[in-house]
Amino acid sequence: MKPTTLALAAALAALAGAAHAQGAKLKVGLMLPATGTYAALGTAIENGFRLYVDEQGGKLGGREIEYVKVDDESDPAKATDNVNKLVKRDNVDVLVGTVHSGVAMAMAKVAKDTGTLLLVPNAGADAVTGPMCAPNIFRSSFSNWQPGYAMGEVVAKKGHKNVVTITWKYAAGDESVRGFKEAFEKSGGKVVKELSLPFPNVEFQALLTEIAASKPDAVYTFFAGGGAVKFVKDYAAAGLKKSIPLYAAGFLTDGTLEAQGADADGLLTTLHYADSLGNPKDNAFRLAYAKAFKLQPDVYAVQGYDAAQMLGIGLAAAKGDVSKKAEIAAAIEKAKIDSPRGAFSVSKSHNPVQDIYLRQVSGKENKLISVASKSLADPGRGCKL
């Protein structure tokens, strides 16, 4: 570098330090879907995140929080441009996002390349806490493998032998099915057919006809958001609900029950949250959320709330200085996060180690039936940390 460039760089660094010292706002880049089949999920995550920040008086680690928002449309083709806008144009201090696994993988790549702290408040892409894991990437949600694996054990225990799976053909669906299949076949079951359609298509009819013709003992599925609403309604309308039991990762019935109505009644799903946990943290969270947003919370709201808690823990340890990356990571790694789902900590690859609950839809709630898998950790295959 030329001396003048060096001087400029030094001046800029000093300015940045001064800005922090004077308590400049901390810019949080919220990259979430505001449109499309996952729009409601994005809203719930943002609500949860803001609720925690508001409970802290609008500050984390002593710094006031400012939000910069991008609608990622759950579109992987636009993801790299969207995340680069936040990091390079808006100069965000922290990235929070997103719902869709394909979009999250693009975010993880940019976070890894630039060293920006990334908190993933939903997307389960196994790779994010697998081969793409990094010291500055944490997840407050789950890996796609986790609920799938837990359900594989449940369905085997029920005595079902032959299962057909149906999902969207992208990382979330594929990995959810893979987790299910791993546990189910280990216990002697067989996945006899794997059906899929492109995300976010909802033309289920031909596939439902194929399920009816195959007559499996049961069906396992991953769908979420608007697509999940339609799938549950179509499954019932095709007459399958009466004849072939449907099991799913809990996203199928989370945040969707108002729209699904009676067609969802009785469905069994596995997830790291349920509507009737009844622990003190969950009770307080549910009350505060309902009061603030005139809505019942769901798993997405919990994940958003916990992403903010994790950021708060990291920033408190670094006294609000996001450049202190090692301090931030160390604090989150050793934390026990007081989540509405029950307290959890993160694995070596930065994914929650958590109980996976078996739930059943009753009325407008996903009621807790039992703990399907205690302290389930994603294997973190391919992560070197």
* Alpha-carbon gap, residue 367 to 275, rounded angstroms: 6
Report the run of H or E that residue 361 belongs to, with start and end: strand 352-362
CA distance to 47, 138, 309, per residue, from 72 (Å) = 17, 19, 23
Closest to ligand PHB by CB, 106 vs 335, is 106
Choice from 224, 322, 328, 376 touching ligand PHB (CB under 6 A): 224
CA distance to 74, 144, 279, 344, per residue, from 276 (Å) = 30, 23, 9, 18
Q: Which stretch binds ligand PHB (CB under 6 A): 96-104, 189-197, 288-296, 313-321?
A: 96-104
Closest to ligand PHB by CB, 87 vs 224, is 224
Whether the CB-CB separation of 219 and 244 falls below 8 Å is answered with: yes
Whether the CB-CB separation of 68 and 28 falls below 8 Å is answered with: yes
Choice from 53, 99, 197, 248 touching ligand PHB (CB under 6 A): 99
Choice from 124, 216, 312, 340 touching ligand PHB (CB under 6 A): 124
Choice from 180, 184, 204, 251 touching ligand PHB (CB under 6 A): 251
Structure tokens at 257: 């029950």
Q: Which stretch binds ligand PHB (CB under 6 A): 89-97, 118-126, 268-276, 334-342?
A: 118-126
Choice from 50, 63, 100, 359 touching ligand PHB (CB under 6 A): 100
**Applying CB under 6 A, does 123 fall inside the site for ligand PHB?**
yes
* Alpha-carbon gap, residue 297 to 44, rounded angstroms: 7
Closest to ligand PHB by CB, 60 vs 356, is 356
Structure tokens at 204: 């289920």
DSSP state, 337? B
Q: Could you tell me how many residues of this chain bind ligand PHB (CB under 6 A)?
A: 12
Q: Which stretch binds ligand PHB (CB under 6 A): 105-113, 123-131, 273-281, 366-374?
A: 123-131
Least distance (Å) between residue 177 CB and ligand PHB? 13
Whether the CB-CB separation of 376 and 146 falls below 8 Å is answered with: yes
Closest to ligand PHB by CB, 50 vs 100, is 100
Sign of CA dihedral 219, 251, 112, 35: positive
Closest to ligand PHB by CB, 63 vs 341, is 341
Nearest position to ligand PHB, beta carbon: 224
Burial of 357 (0-12, 13-18, 19+ CB in 10 A): buried
Closest to ligand PHB by CB, 76 vs 320, is 76
Q: What backbone phi and psi angles, to 5 degrees, belong to 169?
A: -85, 80
Closest to ligand PHB by CB, 204 vs 251, is 251
Window 145 to 204, contacts with ligand PHB (CB under 6 A) = 172
CA distance to 306, 312, 347, 384, per residue, from 350 (Å) = 14, 16, 5, 11
Least distance (Å) between residue 133 CB and ligand PHB? 16
Binding mask 11-50 toward ligand PHB (x if CB under 6 A, else -) reads ---------------------------x------------
Mapped onto helix, strand or coil, the DSSP state of residue 362 is strand
> Which residues here bind ligand PHB, judged by CB under 6 A?
38, 99-101, 122-125, 144, 172, 224, 251
